Amino acid sequence: MSDDELAQATGLREMATRDDELARAVELREAGKREEARELLVALAARHPDDAEVAYQTAWVHDALGLEAEAVPFYVRALAGDGLNADDRLGAFLGLGSTYRVLGRVDESLETFERGLAEFPGDAGLRTFNAMALYNSGRAREAVSTLLAVVAESDRAGGYARAISYYAENLDETV
């Protein structure tokens, strides 16, 4: 076997191991064994520092454990790299923005949601979490307007969608 063939075989084995370990860590997290999943993912992230998917899963498990500050660098790494599908990229924006907000880093939260909304402008989850950050930044009117717009666009507005949508834009209007 040539050196090139050996390197290729080694790379394929490493990728299979990465995929197996990542799948195992996700299974552990979903089974409620978050600490075990975290240990596996931290080791995997150390071996694959440029892997966006591994970084995202590592961030997620830290958040699930209430380790928000530890989740941040993994979310940042996940969003900086390539390799996330659209759902995971959306989840990373939501996770990072929400984590920043919980940590009191509201400006960074708003910036993250702004970036996420540039890529996923209609996403109700991003808009709702952004509204929470807007509220935390003292922009209560904008937060309520955003939430009213999300409600009006949902199937939960009943026969009041038009009125709710109107007041989302005209919140201060009274008779």
More confident residue, 86 or 159: 86
Q: Taking the model in full, what pTM does it have? A: 0.85
Please count the other Cβ atoms lying within 10 Å of the Cβ belonging to residue 20: 10
Give the pLDDT band of residue 4 (cuts 50, 70, 90). low
Written as six digits, the tokens of 17 are 């191991």
Average pLDDT value for residue range 34-55? 96
In angstroms, what CA-CA distances link 29 with 16, 171, 174?
20, 42, 50
CA separation for the pair 135, 146 (Å, rounded): 10
Written as six digits, the tokens of 96 are 């990072």
Given this model, what pLDDT does residue 9 score? 43
DSSP annotation of 106:
H
Spans of all domains in the chain: 1-83
Predicted confidence (pLDDT) at residue 17 exceeds the cutoff of 80: yes
Q: What is the CATH number of domain 1-83?
A: 1.25.40.10
CA separation for the pair 96, 104 (Å, rounded): 12
